[in-house]
Amino acid sequence: MLEYKIEGGNLPVVICSPESGQTLCTEKGSMSWMSPNMKMETNAGGIKKAIGRMFSGESIFLNEYTAVGSRGMIAFASSFPGTIIPYEVSTNNGIIVQKRGFLAMEKGLELSVYFQKKLGKGLFGGEGFIMQKITGNGLVFLEIDGYCKEYDLASGESIIVDTGHLAAMAETCTMDIETVKGVKNIFFGGEGVFLTKVTGPGKVYLQSMPIVNVAGAIRPYITPPSSDSGIKISLGEN
């Protein structure tokens, strides 16, 4: 079993201690630091898998890090303030993840593209038409934007989620789109036209601070000023 610890509070990093011969896989640029005995190898894992990762928003190539000779140490840091969660994947217990939610995983797991069955779900559900699916047997680490709230839904139990706040869900869950009812609610409620409905059984992971919401909030403050918006000072005429 992989030994690890998650540190850093709201700026988290997962520090793993793989045994000799144990391998961890991640996207390029996700490794933060490691011991000298960690051997790196870049692998596309086959054309079909590489194309699937490209469409799911990830890099075509995965980096594999293997401990050689003795127990190693390798750290993977989150790319955005939030939470890192571990998830144990097993047969019939895969997980569906938002794009850019995958951080690192044990070798033997498979990261593939996951298409929503209905086009409307992809266009209006907030997570995009394409998500990621992780299957196999092993441990995966996911990065969540902001605080992560977990719900364990019973069979037939549902939760309504605002756009972008669905970070991940067990593959046993189903997702559908609901239209906000009432003209006033649509135009003046501030919640948009569509909401995501997730139905169990299975775990659902929600995020409090989607990066797209943060980008929208700060956009007005980083827009370059127009050429005539500066203060003009007239010195008058002599």
pLDDT digits (tens, 9 = 90+) for 52-70: 555 555 566 789 999 999 9
Strands 95-97 and 166-170: antiparallel
Answer whether residue 30 is part of any domain: yes
pLDDT of the residue at 165 = 93
Task: Specify the DSSP element, H or E, that contains 122.
Answer: helix 119-124
Q: Distance between CA atoms of 148 and 85, rounded to whole angstroms?
A: 8
pLDDT of the residue at 44 = 67
User: Two tokens at 46?
Assistant: 């086959």
Q: Distance between CA atoms of 133 and 145, rounded to whole angstroms?
A: 18
Contact assessment for residue 85 and residue 136, using Cβ atoms and an 8 Å cutoff: no
User: Two tokens at 116?
Assistant: 């929503």
Confidence of residue 229 (pLDDT cuts 50, 70, 90): low
- DSSP tally for the chain: helices H, then strands E: 4, 19
Answer whether residue 143 is part of any domain: yes
Answer whether residue 129 is part of any domain: yes
Distance of alpha carbon 117 from its chain centroid, rounded? 20
> Which residues span the domain enclosing 133?
3-222
Query: Mean pLDDT, to the nearest integer, of 94-104?
Result: 92
Q: Distance between CA atoms of 49 and 185, rounded to whole angstroms?
A: 43
Distance of alpha carbon 58 from its chain centroid, rounded? 10
Choice between 228 and 62, residue whose per-residue pLDDT is larger: 62
Of 16, 10, 8, the C-alpha closest to 141 is 16
User: Given a cut of 90, is residue 128 above it in pLDDT?
Assistant: no
Answer whether residue 10 is part of any domain: yes
Answer whether residue 179 is part of any domain: yes
Of 39, 26, 34, the C-alpha closest to 67 is 39
pLDDT of the residue at 222 = 82
Confidence of residue 224 (pLDDT cuts 50, 70, 90): low
Which letter does DSSP use for residue 80 in this model? S
CATH of the domain at 98: 3.60.160.10
Answer whether residue 237 is part of any domain: no
User: Given a cut of 70, is residue 137 above it in pLDDT?
Assistant: yes
Task: Specify the DSSP element, H or E, that contains 221.
Answer: helix 211-222
Answer whether residue 230 is part of any domain: no
**Span 11-31, pLDDT tens digits:** 999 999 999 999 999 987 889
pTM beyond 0.85: the answer is no
Residue 93's beta-bridge partner residues? 90
Domain count along the chain: 1
Q: Is the dihedral of CA 18, 149, 135, 62 positive or negative?
A: negative
Answer whether residue 238 is part of any domain: no
